[in-house]
Structures are given as structure tokens and as C-alpha cells.
Structure 1
Amino acid sequence: MKNQMIFQRYEFKYLMDTCQLQAVLAAMEPHMVPDEYSHSSIRNLYLDTSNFRLIRRSLEKPVYKEKLRIRSYGRAGGEEKVFVELKKKYRSVVYKRRISMPQEQALGCVAGTELWPDNQIGTELAYAADFYKTLRPAVFLSYERDSFRGVEDEDFRVTFDREIRYRQEALTLDSDTWGIPLLAPGQVLMELKVAGGIPLWMAHVLSEQGIFKTSFSKYGTAYEDILLRGQRGERKYA
């Protein structure tokens, strides 16, 4: 899955506590197995303009929205390969396109000191960078993820994200994952990634446990927290 470069699917998010998590995991056992990369320490650099144009637009819940980020699965030095991703959402369908390159090259492309790769996805990223003009790393956001895929339907994926943290300093993927937590203690964010409908057995356990869909956005929540802390005059980090 990490090597896949083009995605088209629906994504549904759910916040749950540890008791609900155990019930969901028990229901998943006959139907799902850990995917090829069962556990990942995911690190992201979300790209935005100096006035946070992309995330402000996203929070308005338009019919179409997009996000850009640089992602690694674990700590990544300057010469190590990372993914530059363009994630679009149109009428609830998520489209994700990404390309792999060394982190230093990726940051150079964003800064305009290097050329984007001469291929279709590189051209799309170059267009986005030119369109937004002042694009730069705005927020570092990390989390621990456990991933599962369906036994019969491998396109059905379930992920559980814990320890979601963000910061506005040390904006590199070659650093520790310190920052401000976005989830309450014991809280977990589950994402269902499907090409069509949610399996009936999953719908049943969600109903039984009183687990409901949420519009939780990691970057959006981080941005709102940045604004709130700024209004309060609080320190960025404890």
C-alpha cells in the first residue's frame, strides 16, 4: 500500500474510546488481517500558504477541497525517500496522488529551488505549487497507525491512529514526534477506507457500540488549536 501512487475511495472517520476499540477489533477478527505494513509511525509536513489558505478553505466544507503534504513512514533524513501527496476530495470521494523522492529534493521543489519531476503527478504538484505561490511547510503532524485489510475484499481497509500530535517548529521529518496532542487520553481515531459500501458486519458493530461518523480532520483540528492558543496568548508547547 505504501508503494501505491494513485488512490480513489471513500474515507469515513470515527472517534472511539478503548472499550469501543476492543469491540471493533473483536468484530474484525474473522474478516480482516494486518496489512503489509501493519504498524507505522507516520510523519507529515502539511504544506500551506503563509495565511493558511488551504486549510481555511477546507474547513468551510466546500464541494471540492485539496491538501498537500510531505509524508514519511518513520524518521526520514534529507536523502531518504518520502512521499509528496496531493489529496483532493470531491463530493465525498477522496482522490490521492503522490510521488516519491528524497526529502531534500521535495522541500526544494516546494521552495522553488528545484524542478518537479517530469511526469503526470509531478506536473500536477508543480501546478498546485505555482497556483498557491507561497506554499511552504506549515505544520508537522505525526501519529502511530495500525492498519488492516479485508480478507475477501483487500480494497477495504481499516486504520487506527493514536498519539496524534502537531507542532509549528522543527518542520522536518528527521526529528522526534513531540508536539501538542489532538486526542483526549485513551481516544483513538478509526478510518474506514472503502471503494463502495461499508460491510454489514462493520455497520452492525458501529451501531451496537454507538460509534458515529465524525468530520475530524487532523490538520484542521491542529489549525483550530493554533488559532485558539493564539487568542489565549498561550505558549505553543508545554
Structure 2
Amino acid sequence: MAIEVFNRYESKFLLDKDTYEKIQNRLLDYMELDKYNQQNGFYTISNIYLDTKDDHLIRNSLSKPKYKEKLRIRAYGAPTADEEVYLEIKKKVFGLVNKRRTTLKLNEAYDFVRTGIKPVYQPYMNTQVINEIAYMLNLYDLEPKLYLAYDRKALFSKENKDLRITFDTNIRTRRYDLRLESGDYGEPLLEKDRWLMEVKAENNIPLWLSKLLSEYRLYKTSFSKYGLEHQMMLLENQKMKGERKPCLKQYSVQPQLLPQYL
């Protein structure tokens, strides 16, 4: 069974193509490719992010609170309606990322988020996570808001499997045709040959990695794929209206309610 609960710290770095090629070759001295990358250069992850009508979850996330959460449907490639996908809550509390997910058939995931009614139990489901998602769906009136996909290369430490580094490229999004089975297409989020590297670890990173990051002068950055797309959408909407650029501080953020399931 796939791991369904993750607790780790994540550090993000933006790279150009030249730096990506150099550092990922150096990493292979200490790490090995994910099994999905061993036969193919990359694998595709596609997501449907859910939010309220007024985008409360992403607006709250961009305000950098101590606690924030997102809900998404995640798949590898473009699934069919009866294929298994993940319905996943991503939380961040004081910098610690917690991911909790359950396997569902794609049509089960759609029905669950649309109605809030828990699916009939099947052996591939995680009932605790389903209860948490049901609470979140009851707390917020959520709907599909964004399709977001990217191509990924992932590496695991040879000595410490808790250390994982991923490289994402060709990030594309769309705010229409919000069905995973509709196919993998969208508008580019970053300029060509830009890479997002994420270092994911339960504890401190090893000394060799710290030295490698320093050697290539890579510094952590605050980056959210969904957050960047939301900001770009606001700017484009303002541009179309002929108004001045928006300041995110003008949007009120409702008091954050912590779920009873933590």
C-alpha cells in the first residue's frame, strides 16, 4: 500500500536549466532515481485544486499564516473515470508540512467533493483521511478551481529514505475544463527552462547537501504553484479591466478554523 501520511519540512529553490543539469548529476553520487524515473526521464503529476468561490484557501495561504491547508485531487498522467487517484489534504503548521491522502476512483472523488457525502468504503480507502476530508468539505463550500500539472524527476537518498529531492518543470495550468480525464494541457506558469527544486526531509538535511547548495549558490525561496497562478490571474484580471495592480493585502482573510482532526 502506498504511504498515505507524510510529515516533513520542504525547502524550495528556483533553478535555470544549466544549474539543474549540473546539480542533478552531482546528486546521483548520493541519491538514486525514483522507480518511475528509471525507465522514463520524467513522470507527470496532474491536480485539481479545490477552493471556495472567493478563493479563501489560497488567499489565506498567501497571507502566510501559521496554519494553512489545501485540498486537491491528484493523479499520475490523465486518468480515466474508473482509475484510482488520490484525494489529498495538504496542511502546513509552523513550517511543518503534513499531507494526508486516500485512494479513490476518480468518479468517487468527484462525487465526494461535489456532495460532501462519504463514499461507500472500499479496501483501498483510508477511512480516517476520508473523515478529515468530509469535515473540511463541511467547513468550506469547495469547488474545482484550477487544473495544475507538471513533469517531475524525483530522487531518494541512498542512506536515508526520508530525504527526497524533486525537480518540477513544464508547469501548466488552466481554469476551464476542470476534469483530470480531459487531458494534460494548459498555459505555462513559468518561463521556459525554469525548474522548481524541492528538498523534502523529516529532519535536518545532511552536510553534503548543505555544501552542494552553497556551492551552487542556491537559496530557499517562498514559492507556491497554486499561489503564483492565483496572483497572475489577479494581475491579468486587473489588466483587462484597465485598473492598477492589486495588493493582496486588500483582500480580507476570514479567521482560520482548525479542523477537529489533527
Per the TM alignment, residue 114 of structure 1 is displaced from its structure 2 partner at its CA by 4.0
Q: Does 1:216 align with 2:223?
A: yes
Identify the residue that residue 244 of structure 2 maps to in structure 1: none
Q: Where does structure 2 lack aligned partners over 5 or more consecutive residues? A: 122-126, 242-262
Higher RCO (C-alpha under 8 Å, 6+ residues apart): 1
TM-score of the superposed pair, with normalisation by structure 1: 0.93
Q: Does 1:61 align with 2:68?
A: no
Tell me which amino acid in the other structure corresponds to 1:105.
Answer: E
Tell me which amino acid in the other structure corresponds to 2:69.
Answer: E
1:72–1:21 CA distance, 2 compared to 1 (3 A): same
Per the TM alignment, residue 86 of structure 1 is displaced from its structure 2 partner at its CA by 0.4
Q: Does 1:102 align with 2:105?
A: yes
Identify the residue that residue 128 of structure 2 maps to in structure 1: 120
The CA distance in 1 between the partners of 2:239 and 2:120, in whole Å, is 43
Identify the residue that residue 4 of structure 2 maps to in structure 1: 5
Per the TM alignment, residue 177 of structure 1 is displaced from its structure 2 partner at its CA by 2.3
Per the TM alignment, residue 22 of structure 1 is displaced from its structure 2 partner at its CA by 2.0
Structure having the higher strand fraction is 1
Moved more, 19-28 or 141-150: 19-28
TM-score of the superposed pair, with normalisation by structure 2: 0.85
Q: Deviations over 1:56-91 (max 9, x none)?
A: 000000000001000001111111111000010001
Identify the residue that residue 79 of structure 2 maps to in structure 1: 76
Q: CA RMSD in A?
A: 1.5
1:54–1:80 CA distance, 2 compared to 1 (3 A): same
Q: Deviations over 1:134-193 (max 9, x none)?
A: 201100000000111000111110100000011101101112322221112111000011
Matched position secondary structure for 1:224: helix
Tell me which amino acid in the other structure corresponds to 1:107.
Answer: Y
Tell me which amino acid in the other structure corresponds to 2:87.
Answer: V
CA contact (8 A) 2:85 2:106 kept: yes
Q: Map of 1:21-170 to 2, 5 A cutoff?
A: 21-38=20-37, 39-112=42-115, 114-116=117-119, 119-132=127-140, 134-170=141-177
Q: Does 1:15 align with 2:14?
A: yes
The CA distance in 1 between the partners of 2:135 and 2:173, in whole Å, is 27
Tell me which amino acid in the other structure corresponds to 1:129.
Answer: L
CA contact (8 A) 2:167 2:196 kept: yes
Matched position secondary structure for 1:41: strand
The CA distance in 2 between the partners of 1:191 and 1:112, in whole Å, is 34
Tell me which amino acid in the other structure corresponds to 1:29.
Answer: L
1:117–1:53 CA distance, 2 compared to 1 (3 A): farther
Q: Where does structure 1 lack aligned partners over 5 or more consecutive residues? A: none
Identify the residue that residue 247 of structure 2 maps to in structure 1: none
CA contact (8 A) 1:116 1:126 kept: no
Q: Does 1:191 align with 2:198?
A: yes
Identify the residue that residue 177 of structure 1 maps to in structure 2: 184
Give the share of equivalent positions with the same residue, in percent. 40
Tell me which amino acid in the other structure corresponds to 1:16.
Answer: L
1:149–1:117 CA distance, 2 compared to 1 (3 A): farther
